[in-house]
């Protein structure tokens, strides 16, 4: 499965698009397979003779085995009331998001978990990597399962739930939070009424959405 996450809208809005290439040049492939992971994948350590890479993450692939272990470890000690077990992919040299304009998350909604609702000025595109569950967005329940995509727009309350008694759900998301933080415009707010849960006004699933189209 391939999902592109691009910051083209803000780049075009700022009139900052550039393309620089020479069709006559062909780059010779000399890199070792998984070389970036072997050099920088530990996170806390880097080659002593290299300066930190601050403009972008030096890791070109984030392996699922390591990510899954990190999720399971975090689940043993802490979790967010709004996102359950959530991790942000980072540049290991800076601890910052993988891009200056966008960030990527991986999160696990554990069996029986129903998170509290909150809203943020950022927007997010979600891909369901594993399991099934639902997200209540602005009072509408959207049921999802493996392979589905859904979007949480800016400044709408949302909460996640996993009704399964024994199966976890894994969500991957791309969010535009970093650019809002950099501009000093980031804001979030939790739902204070109804014990932090929205009143559900309707239910949609992937088949219903396609039927409406």
Strand partners, 173: 105, 126
Average pLDDT value for residue range 4-28? 85
Q: Is 92 exposed, middle or buried (0-12, 13-18, 19+ CB in 10 A)?
A: buried
Upper half-sphere CA count for residue 200 (Cβ side, 13 Å): 12
Cβ-based neighbour number of residue 162 at 10 Å? 21
User: 20 phi and psi, to 5 degrees?
Assistant: -135, 110
Question: Of 62 and 18, which is predicted with more confidence?
Answer: 62
pLDDT value, residue 117? 98
Question: Of 40 and 181, which is predicted with more confidence?
Answer: 181
* Per-residue pLDDT tens over the stretch 35-76: 999 988 888 888 899 898 888 889 989 999 999 999 999 999
Question: For all residues of the chain together, what is the average pLDDT?
Answer: 92
pLDDT value, residue 21? 75
- Give 97's DSSP letter: B
Q: How confident is the model at residue 210 (pLDDT cuts 50, 70, 90)?
A: low
């Amino acid at each position: 499965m391939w999902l592109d996450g691009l910051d083209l809208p803000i780049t075009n809005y700022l009139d900052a698009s550039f393309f620089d290439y020479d069709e006559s040049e062909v780059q010779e492939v000399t890199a070792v397979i998984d070389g970036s992971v072997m050099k920088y994948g530990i996170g806390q350590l880097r080659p002593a003779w290299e300066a930190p890479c601050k403009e972008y993450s030096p890791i070109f692939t984030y392996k699922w085995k390591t990510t899954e272990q990190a999720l399971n470890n975090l689940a043993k000690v802490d979790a967010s009331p709004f996102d359950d077990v959530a991790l942000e992919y980072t540049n290991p040299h800076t601890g910052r998001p993988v891009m200056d304009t966008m960030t990527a998350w991986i999160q696990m909604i554990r069996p029986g978990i129903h998170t509290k609702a909150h809203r943020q000025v950022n927007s997010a595109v979600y891909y369901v990597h594993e399991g099934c569950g639902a997200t209540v967005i602005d009072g509408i329940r959207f049921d999802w399962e493996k392979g589905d995509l859904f979007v949480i727009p800016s400044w709408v309350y949302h909460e996640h739930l996993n009704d399964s008694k024994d199966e976890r759900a894994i969500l991957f998301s791309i969010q535009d939070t970093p650019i809002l933080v950099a501009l000093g415009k980031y804001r979030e707010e939790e739902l204070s009424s109804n014990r932090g849960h929205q009143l559900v006004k309707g239910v949609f699933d992937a088949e219903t959405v396609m039927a409406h189209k």
